[in-house]
Amino acid sequence: MQPSFEKYLPWFILREIPFIGNTMYKKLIHQFLSPEKVLNSTEAQLKKIDKISERIIFGIIHHKKFQDKAKKELEGILNKNIKIVTLTDSSYPALLKQIHDPPPFLTYLGELDNSSPCISIVGSRRATSYGLSTSENLSYELAKKGFQIVSGMARGIDSRAHKGALRAQGKTIAVLGSGINKIYPRENKYLFQAIAEKGTVFSEFKADTKPFPSNFPIRNRIIAGLSCGSIVVEAAKRSGSLITARLAGEYNREVFAVPGSIQSKKSQGTHALLKQGAKLVENEMDIMDELHHFVHSTKKYQPASLQNQKLSHYRSCKTAGPEILKFIGPYPIHIDALIENSGMDSSQIASQLLDLELAGKVNRHQGNYYSISEENN
């Protein structure tokens, strides 16, 4: 058998054993380090696991009766060139691993990118035109700034979030509420293919699992878990998007909400989040103000196309004006990044920025971001 089959089969067998939820699965892997060692453990060893039930112990001891079912599932996945990432792989998303019940493994299409931060954008399936355009525009701007956009590929806000990232030629991640062989909704077939080619499509469900309503709250924890922050664009009082927001809060991630009309029922959920302390979003700079350290903590978060724009601008102004002007381009840059890139001290930079702003050579944006003015661009 192929090496990948032997590698993944124990993971699939362990998933087939009844009553092993994700939390218990994580405990078992933490204790035994691999599913192979879990399956080969003794009853005495298993009894040392906190809160493990007799039914789970019995299932593990007699795991061979689940082997055929696991083999069939794994063969179907590998035959379709669907990829697998497990909890012990270095490529498993780091933030997702931190939640208390991460998927033991994920099936996926596309490529994994753990170098760029993720932010989720979620909202109503029956969104208003305001919500749809806001979702796409926020996604577009955040993707340009180096974020991977995470959403659930549902109708409405989710779909437009993915499309905004693709339009920006950025990365986007779709987390399915179905198996990876079941595209839902069906009209998103081409969107699914585009994401699989230019981003990542994830599912924790068996490959042929249908999109049952109960699956979507389960997948929402993955959306929240992957992301350093979650943005709710439009949501009614009992929207599933509020589950994502609640989970994001529980995971100590940032929660953002876009205000809407006080007369719109589709904004009642987002307004409730704002009352509870979610950060209000008017544009992408409100998000950058909170999460800029994820993007500017290393140069690789900056899209190459923007770097090229800046390099061109730097060359044209090497001899003009204060030294800091060499490090400011048409794309807003945070003052912390200016300090890091220039090697100058903060007081010197602040003084030069003030002079440039008063002279109309740079624009100051919310959250201490600066860009070159159009007249000097």
Q: What's the confidence (pLDDT) of residue 312?
A: 41
User: How many C-beta neighbours within 10 Å does residue 236 have?
Assistant: 19
Do residue 292 and residue 307 come from a single domain?
no
Strand partners, 364: 370
Q: What's the confidence (pLDDT) of residue 2?
A: 52
Q: What is the mean pLDDT of residues 72-87?
A: 93
Mean pLDDT taken over the chain: 85
Decide if 84 is inside a domain: no
Decide if 105 is inside a domain: no
Decide if 324 is inside a domain: yes
pTM of the model: 0.75
Q: What is the mean pLDDT of residues 208-234?
A: 93
Q: What is the mean pLDDT of residues 222-227?
A: 94
Sequence-ordered alpha helix ranges (H) in the chain: 3-16, 22-32, 35-39, 43-46, 54-61, 67-79, 94-97, 129-144, 157-167, 189-198, 215-226, 241-250, 268-275, 284-296, 304-316, 335-342, 346-358
Q: What's the confidence (pLDDT) of residue 342?
A: 81
Q: What is the tens place of the pLDDT at every residue in 112-140?
A: 988 889 999 999 888 888 889 899 999 99
Burial class of residue 5 in the structure, from the number of CB atoms within 10 Å of its CB (0-12 exposed, 13-18 middle, 19+ buried): middle
Encoded tokens for 369:
């971001």
Instruction: Count up the domains in the chain and report the number.
Output: 3
Q: What is the tens place of the pLDDT at every residue in 137-178?
A: 999 999 998 899 999 999 999 999 999 999 999 999 999 999
Supply the CATH number for residue 43's domain. 1.10.150
Decide if 88 is inside a domain: no
Q: Which helix (H) or strand (E) holds 287?
A: helix 284-296
Q: What is the tens place of the pLDDT at every residue in 226-282?
A: 999 999 999 888 788 888 989 998 998 989 999 988 888 888 888 988 888 889 988
Q: What is the mean pLDDT of residues 59-81?
A: 92
Examine the pLDDT at 195 and tell me if it is beyond 50: yes
Supply the CATH number for residue 283's domain. 3.40.50.450
Domain hosting 312: range is 302-376
- Distance (Å, whole) CA 107 – CA 82: 7
- Distance (Å, whole) CA 166 – CA 136: 10
Examine the pLDDT at 17 and tell me if it is beyond 70: yes
Do residue 243 and residue 352 come from a single domain?
no
Q: What is the tens place of the pLDDT at every residue in 306-359?
A: 444 433 433 333 333 467 887 887 767 888 788 878 888 777 788 788 778 777
3-state DSSP of 338-355: HHHHHCCCHHHHHHHHHH
